[in-house]
Amino acid sequence: MTSAEIREKILNDVVFMGLRSSIGVIFILHGMMKFNPGFANALPNMGLPPEMQIPIALAEVVPGVLMIIGVLSRLSGALLSIVMLGAIFMVKRAQSMTGDGGVEFDVILLAASLAIMIAGPGRISLAQAIKKIPRCLH
């Protein structure tokens, strides 16, 4: 293997770690805000019962943490993709791409979650360090 190939592989791993970390932080921050009781009051306006507050918040926080550490990243990417599809089509009703009610940020988060789900966490992850976790769960 040439030094250029080694640098390219290292760069790919660093990129995936950065992508996982940024997605994880965004979802943790957004999920933590959903533990606020005001979010439960807003859920009926979105067509959801107030009892969904905790499951929705946990569906963002837990996968966000797992993304950062690089365990169950594919499963977390799938769950976060579902969350983002719900945000795009149920909450914002895909009104427009930009501006008020725009979904551009949601589409980027969806794409990044799908990329992690398909490609996996990269070699800089806890799952890679442990090696005993089945590859499909990385």
Considering only CA atoms, which of 38, 90, 35, 88 is closest in space to residue 62?
35
Write the pLDDT tens digit of every residue in 17-69. Answer: 999 999 999 999 999 999 998 999 998 988 889 999 999 999 999 999 999 99
Residue 45, CB half-sphere, CA atoms under 13 Å: how many?
Answer: 6
Q: What is the pTM of this model?
A: 0.85
Nearest to 64 by CA among 51, 92, 83: 83
Of 115, 121, 137, nearest in space to 21 by CA:
121
Q: Tell me which amino acid residue 113 is.
A: S
